[in-house]
């Protein structure tokens, strides 16, 4: 396994462990997902917010690519049939002892939906 892939796997595992511990997941419903080639479904699945599913894309790299990562998370949420896709990315200088300090990235529409907004008709929105 390459050094970068190993680093990513360790970060995904740390995120998974943190979420299981904080949320309480004795059945192991929150899990790391296997790769599906072009149809990847995120790195972590099994999370729900008010019965709506969430997939996480995890990133532990030195150079930030927020727009690209968010696009990837959105596509992987679609692939997984999930309601939300978000990115968890490593906060420089914060390791496994500070997992709660890692960053989470989402777009404003996702935040609005989490706060109770109705779904937006994307086609109508694009034409306005």
Q: What is the pTM of this model?
A: 0.86
Residues in contact with 71: Cβ distance below 8 Å, sequence separation at least 6, in sequence order:
none
Contact between 7 and 60 under an 8 Å Cβ cutoff? The reply is yes
Calculate mean pLDDT across residues 76-101: 95
* pLDDT reported for residue 36: 63
Residues in contact with 49: Cβ distance below 8 Å, sequence separation at least 6, in sequence order:
84, 114
User: How far apart are alpha carbons 22 and 121 in whole angstroms?
Assistant: 35
Q: What percent of the chain has pLDDT over 70?
A: 91
Task: Answer yes or no: is pLDDT of 1 > 70.
Answer: no
Q: 24: domain CATH number?
A: 3.40.1350
pLDDT per residue as tens digits for the range 91-103: 999 989 999 999 9
Task: Answer yes or no: is pLDDT of 124 > 50.
Answer: no
Domain count, the chain: 1
Confidence of residue 120 (pLDDT cuts 50, 70, 90): confident
pLDDT per residue as tens digits for the range 10-50: 999 999 999 999 999 988 899 998 766 678 899 999 999 98
For 128, other C-beta atoms within 10 Å of its C-beta total 4
Q: Tell me which residue range forms the domain holding 57.
A: 3-127
């Amino acid at each position: 396994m390459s050094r970068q892939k190993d680093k990513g796997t360790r970060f995904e595992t740390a995120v998974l462990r943190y979420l299981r511990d904080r949320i309480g997941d004795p059945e192991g419903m929150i899990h790391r997902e296997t790769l599906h080639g072009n149809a990847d479904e995120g790195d972590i699945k099994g999370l729900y917010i008010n019965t709506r599913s969430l997939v996480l894309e995890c990133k532990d790299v030195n150079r930030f690519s927020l727009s690209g990562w968010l696009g990837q998370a959105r596509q992987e949420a679609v692939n997984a049939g999930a309601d939300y896709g978000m990115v968890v990315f490593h906060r420089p200088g914060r390791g496994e002892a500070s997992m709660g300090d890692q960053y989470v990235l989402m777009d404003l529409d996702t935040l609005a939906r989490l706060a109770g907004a109705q779904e937006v008709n994307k086609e109508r929105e694009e034409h306005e």
